[in-house]
Amino acid sequence: MATKKINTINISGSEYAKVSERLKEFHKTYKSGRIETSYNLTESMICFKTIITPDTTNPDRFFTGHSLGKLTGTKAFEKLETISVGRALAFLGLLADGEIASYEEMSEYVIEEGEKSAEKFEKIEKLKKEADKIKDIDELRKFYAKNRGIGKEFDDFIVNKSKELKEKNKDVKKEKK
């Protein structure tokens, strides 16, 4: 079967198909098809594997999809299974504009990225407050060495703080003369 375009939803400028739409098309097109899911669970992670056989009379032709994630949040188990099924269906050719990721997968990604951004913002703000209390350039250098790599916003703040401390040092030296 050729790649089949499915109804989509736009997320951040790209079109993604819902897994439910992909499933409807699968059941309509592949009357003797089979979808099997399995999972491996560790203390903190779960990995789903989906195997889709479009024609059970030809079991050598199958498509797989995987998803990996933490078991946190509402319905995490079900969401990860759905993502795995969606990826296998996409590899079969039931996708939107060539996108393997499903609407469900991208929605989860957008939520995770938003949470990471909020955590990063809070960390940067906390570090900026700590750095603001520093009055010595050498102490600032040590502080930066310990906390660098968090992002451009923090780096820029440290550069400006460093310039500020250097200016204050110049002013103090002028006053002493």
Give tens-digit pLDDT for 109-143.
Answer: 555 655 556 666 777 788 888 888 888 888 988 98
What's this model's pTM, rounded to 2 decimal places? 0.56
State the Cα–Cα distance between residues 54 and 10, nearest whole angstrom.
28
Distance of CA 96 to the CA centre of its chain: 20
| pLDDT of the residue at 170 | 72
Give tens-digit pLDDT for 54-96.
Answer: 999 999 999 999 988 888 777 888 888 988 998 899 888 887 5
| pLDDT of the residue at 1 | 46
| Sheet hosting strand 45-53, strand order edge to edge | 34-41, 45-53, 63-70
Tell me: pLDDT of 172 over 80. no
Average pLDDT in the chain: 80
Give tens-digit pLDDT for 146-156.
Answer: 888 877 878 88
Residue 75 sits at the vertex; the CA angle it makes with 71 and 80, to the nearest 5 degrees, is 65
Domain-by-domain residue ranges, the chain? Answer: 4-110, 134-176
Residue spans of beta strands (DSSP E) within 57-158: 63-70, 94-95
Tell me: pLDDT of 103 over 70. no
